[in-house]
Structure 1
Amino acid sequence: MPGDVLIRQLEYLVALGRERHFGRAAAACHVSQPTLSAAIRKLESELDAVIVLRGRRFEGFTDEGERVLGWAHRILAERDALYTDLDRMRGGLTATARIGAIPTAIPATPLITDLFGRRNPLARVRIEALPSREISRRLTEFELDAGVTYLDDETPPGTRRVELYRERYLLLLREDDPQAENDVVTWEAAAQLRLCALPPSMRNRRILDATMAAVGERLAPVVEADSVDGLYAHVAARRLASIVAHTWLHAFGVPAGMCARPLAEIRPRPVVGLIVPDRVPASIVAEALVDVVTGADIGRRLEEAVP
C-alpha cells in the first residue's frame, strides 16, 4: 500500500522538472541538494514507482515519472486555487495573475492589467514575454493562468479563447527613405531595407516569413532581437527599419527621425486573444481575467493610436 505523499515532495518534483538539474532545483526550493534528493526518493518509495532517471546527473523522468509530474502540477494548482478561493471569500481576490504574452502583444497588456486591477484591487499581476509555444507549455503545466497569443492552428487544444484584436503591420523606416513618400508600402519594398526583427522562434516572425514568401521575397534582417524593447532600441539608436504590429504605436510611438507606414494587406489579419485552460473546476484567476476582457473592445483602443 502506497504511503502518504507530502505537498513538499511534489513541490520538489515540480522544481526538478522545471530546472532539469538537482542542484538548481534545490536552490530554487531553498534546501540542500541531499534534502531534495532524499525527498524525491521517499516519494518514489511511497508511490512504489521509479520517477527519475539517474546517472551521474539528472537524465530525465521515466514514463511513470512524467505521469507523476503531471499530477504534481495539478495537485499544487488545486492547492493554490483553494487558498485563492478562501482569500476571495474573506475580502477579494489577492492572488497573482500570471500572464504569458507574445512579444508583439506586450504593448497591449497594460489595457488588460488596468481592467483587471480596477476589478480586483488587492490582486497582483506578473507578465512574461514568451514565445507562443512556451505559453502553451506553461499553461499545460499550471505555470501560467492565461496567455495572450495568436488564435490560430498553433493555439493549444483544451483552452478557452477570447479575441482581443486583429494584428496589422506597419513599416517603421527613416523619414528620409524614399519609401516614406508612399501611403502604403509593399512587402517587396520592405524586404529590400536593412531590417531588425524577432527571431524565427517567435510566432510573429513566422507570420512575417510566410507573408514575405507569399510575395516571393525572403525576410533577412541584419539584427534579430527576442523582445520588442530590443527592436525599439535598434530602431531608435541605429535607425534600422522594422516591420511591427500596430500595438507598437500604442506603447512606444515613433522614434525621432522615423515614420510609420502601413504595409499592404495581402493576407487576413492574425487574431490575438486571451487563452485560459478549459478545466473543471475553472481557475478563479483565469475566470477573473476572462471576465474583464470580454466585451472590453481592446481592439478599438489599440486602433486609436494608429494614424
Structure 2
Amino acid sequence: MLDKLEMFIAVAKEGHFGRAAQSLGITQPTLSTGLKQLEDQLGVQLVFRGSRYGGLTPEGQTALVWARKIAGDARQLKEEMRFKRHGLSGRLRIAAIPTALTWAAELAAIFTDKHPNVRFTILSRTSVEILSMLDNLDVDAGISYLDNEPMGRVSTEPLYEERYLVVCSASSPFAAKKSLRWQDLDGQKLCLLTPDMQNRRIINRNFESLGVTAEATIESNSTVVLLATIARGDWLTVLPEDIARFLAEGKALKLIPLSGQTPEHTVGLVAPYREPHTPVLEELLREARRLSAAKR
C-alpha cells in the first residue's frame, strides 16, 4: 500500500495527474491504476475525477493527513535501520529563507565535518513554501521565521534574532552616517526583496507603523540582485545583519544600523514534529543549538 500512498500524496501536491506521474517516474496509467486500487482498499473515493484532476474529496482530505504520516513513518523506519547499519548517513534536504542561507551553509558544513557520510541539499525558498515542503515531505527541515506566521505542529530550534541594516554604496550620501532611522528612508530609492518574502512583509510593517512612505523601485527574490543594484551608487536596501555583512564583505559598500522601535524576529531550524526524530535529524537539531550558542 505504501507505493500507492506515495502516488496519492504526489497527486494532492501537484494537483495534476500527469505532473504527479512524472514526479514519481511512472506512467499516468500506472498512477491512475494505483489510485483506483487505493480507493478500493479504503472503500472511499479520494479524488474527484473528470477529464482532469478535480481536487480531493472530503474523505481524500482526511486520508491525506494519514498518508503523509504513514509515508513519513516509513521513511523514518528506513533511516533508523540505516543508522543501525552505517551510523549517521544519507541525505538531508533543507529549505531556507534567502536571508538565512549563510546559516544553512554553516550548519551543513559543520555537520558534514563531524558526520562525513551525510550529504546536504540546500534550497532557497520563501517561508510559505518551506512550510508546504515540510508538509509534503519534500524537505527534511527548514530554516525560517519562528514567530511571524502559523507553523502548525513542528519541532523548532532558534538560531538568531534578526536585526536590520541599511546597505548603500561607499559613494552614497548616507555612507558617512553612523546610524539611520526608518523614517530617514522615506522617499529614497529603494531596492527590496519581493513581497512574497516574509522579510519584505516585516520591513513593510515597520515602515507602516512609523507612517513612512517607502516604495521599492526595484524588487527581486535574490539578495545578489539587490547588492548589484546598490553598487551603482544611488540605491539603498534593508537586509538582516548576517546576510548583509556576508554579501558586502570586500565590496565598496557601507552597512548602517537602523535605530528605532522595531521588534526583532527569531529565525530557526524547523522540522516536522515526530517523537522520536530520526537519528540524523535529531543530531541536526542539536547541532543547530550548539551553533546558535557559539554565536551569542
TM-score (norm 2): 0.92
TM-superposed CA distance for 1:62, in Å, is 0.6
Cα distance between partner residues in 2 of 1:106 and 1:237:
24
The 5-angstrom pairing of residues 206-245 of structure 1 reads 206-236=201-231, 240-245=235-240
Match of 1:30 in 2: 25
Q: Is the 8 A contact 1:99 1:126 kept in 2?
A: yes
Q: 1:299 to 1:265 in 2, by over 3 A?
A: farther
Offset of residue 134 of structure 1: 2.2
C-alpha distance in 2 between matches for 1:126 and 1:276: 15
Tell me how far 1:17 sits from its aligned partner.
1.6
Give aligned-pair identity as a percent.
31
Q: Compute the displacement of 1:237 (Å).
A: 5.8
Residues 182, 260 of structure 2: 8 Å contact kept: no
Shift of 1:270: 1.5
User: Partners in 2 of 1:146 and 1:101 — Cα distance?
Assistant: 9
Query: SS at 2:290's partner residue?
Result: coil
Instruction: Choose 229-238 or 207-216, whichever is displaced more.
Output: 229-238
Match of 2:140 in 1: 145
Q: How large is the Cα RMSD of the aligned pairs? A: 2.1
Confirm or deny: 8 A CA contact 1:198 1:227 kept in the other structure: yes
Higher strand share: 2
Retained in 2: the 8 A contact 1:107–1:250?
Answer: no
- What is the CA–CA distance in structure 2 between the aligned matches of 1:97 and 1:256, rounded to whole Å? 33
CA distance in 2 between partners of 1:15 and 1:128 (Å): 20
Matched, 1:177 2:172: yes
Deviation sequence 1:167-188 (CA, Å, 0-9, x none): 1111111222222221001212
In 2: Cα distance, 1:269 partner to 1:191 partner: 21
CA contact (8 A) 1:239 1:258 kept: no
Relative to structure 2, which stretch is displaced further, 67-76 or 35-44?
67-76
**Alignment partner of 1:273 is 2:286:** no
Give 5+ residue unaligned stretches, structure 2: none
Q: Distance in 2 between matches of 1:148 and 1:20?
A: 26
Give the drift of 1:22.
Answer: 0.8
Instruction: Report how far residue 207 of structure 1 moved.
Output: 0.8
What is the rounded CA distance, in whole Å, between the counterparts of 2:228 and 2:293 in structure 1? 26
User: Is the 1:81–1:283 contact (alpha carbons within 8 Å) kept by the matching residues of 2?
Assistant: yes
Q: For residues 178 and 250 of structure 1, do their structure 2 counterparts lie closer, same or farther at Cα, with a shift above 3 Å needed? A: closer
**DSSP-derived class of the 2:276 partner:** coil
2:45/2:60 contact within 8 Å kept: yes
Q: Does 1:194 find its partner at 2:189?
A: yes
Q: State the match for 1:73 in structure 2.
A: 68
Alpha-carbon distance, 1:204 to partner: 0.6
Q: How many residues align?
A: 296
Task: Find 1:39's aligned residue among 34, 42, 59.
Answer: 34
Alignment of 1:204 onto 2:191: no
Q: 1:168 aligns with which of 163, 174, 188?
A: 163
Query: Residues 167 and 244 of structure 2 are in contact (CA less than 8 Å); yes or no, is this contact kept in structure 1?
Result: no
- Cα deviation, 1:147-198, whole Å, max 9, x if unaligned, reads 2111214251322222211111111112222222210012122232211111
Distance 1:190 1:219 in 2: 7
Per the normalisation by structure 1, the TM-score is 0.89
- Identify which range, 243-252 or 166-175, moves more after superposition: 243-252
> What secondary structure sits across from 1:219 in the alignment?
coil
Deviation at 1:52?
0.6
**Secondary structure of residue in 2 paired with 1:31:** coil
Q: Does 1:291 align with 2:289?
A: no
2:115 matched residue in structure 1: 120
1:41-94: per-residue Cα shift (whole Å, max 9, x none)? 111111111011112211111111122222222222222112211111112222
1:85 to 80, 102, 106: 80
